[in-house]
Amino acid sequence: MRAVARQPARLTLSTRKGLVLLDAAELLAARSDGVLVTLMTTRGELPTALTLKALAARLPAGRFVRVDRRHLVNLDEVVRLLPQASGGAIAVMRSGLEVPVSRQAARSLRRRLKL
């Protein structure tokens, strides 16, 4: 029988503020500016040198999704999708944070969230 790899409940992240232990549930969203990824957490914003792809690989599968090329969101925190004229959407998080969602990701997110 093959062992199933589990993502840890806590992440150890290297940030400008040093090593930070972060529960996955504390991560609301992540934003890439092309150089750094900023983690939007319940504790505030934390810049890290991880790429969005590397970050996503360390997070629980199915709970976090890329919503465009620069953003990743915690599905448990999304409370509303606001449609945009472009066909995309704005994901409104429990905290009030608004994250842009691409047209393609908006369709997929609506299905996943049963909206």
How far lies 68's CA from each of 72, 105, 113, in Å?
Answer: 7, 7, 17
Domain that holds residue 22: 10-112
**Has residue 28 been placed in a domain?**
yes
What is the per-residue pLDDT across 83-111, written as a single tens digit (0 to 9) for each?
999 899 999 999 999 999 999 999 988 88
C-alpha dihedral over 76, 30, 21, 8, to 10 degrees? 50
Number of domains in the chain: 1
Give the strand order in the sheet containing 64-68: 18-23, 10-15, 44-48, 37-41, 27-32, 71-74, 64-68
Rounded CA-CA distance 77/73 in Å is 8
* Tens of pLDDT, residue by residue, the chain (115 residues): 444 445 557 888 887 778 889 999 999 999 999 888 999 999 899 999 889 999 999 998 889 999 999 999 999 999 999 999 989 999 999 999 999 999 999 998 888 887 7
**Has residue 1 been placed in a domain?**
no
What CATH number should be reported for the domain holding residue 61?
A: 2.40.50.1020
**Has residue 15 been placed in a domain?**
yes
**Has residue 50 been placed in a domain?**
yes
Nearest one of 62, 20, 64 to 43, comparing CA atoms:
20
**Has residue 5 been placed in a domain?**
no
